[in-house]
Amino acid sequence: MTITKIIDEYREKIINSPDLQLMEASEYLTKLSALLGNINEEIRLRDRLYANKLLEIMNEGNSVAKAKVIAQTTDEYQNLELAKGYEHVTIEIVRSLKYRCNVLLHEQESSRNL
Residues recorded for the chain: 114
For 4-13, the CB contacts below 8 A with 24+ separation are 4/82, 4/86, 6/35, 7/32, 7/35, 7/86, 7/89, 7/90, 7/93, 10/93, 11/89, 11/93
Report the SS3 class of residue 17: coil
Mean of per-residue pLDDT scores for the chain:
93
**59 pLDDT band (50/70/90 cuts)?**
very high
In this predicted structure, what is the pLDDT of residue 11? 93
**25 pLDDT band (50/70/90 cuts)?**
very high
In this predicted structure, what is the pLDDT of residue 114? 66
pLDDT surpasses 80 at 104:
yes
Half-sphere exposure in the Cβ direction for 110 (13 Å, CA):
6
Largest CA distance in the chain: 75
Domain boundaries, the chain: 27-112
**112 pLDDT band (50/70/90 cuts)?**
confident
Model confidence pLDDT, tens digit, residues 61-85: 999 999 999 999 999 999 999 999 9
In this predicted structure, what is the pLDDT of residue 29? 94
**109 pLDDT band (50/70/90 cuts)?**
confident
Residues 6 or more apart whose Cβ sits within 8 Å of residue 25: 97, 100, 101, 104
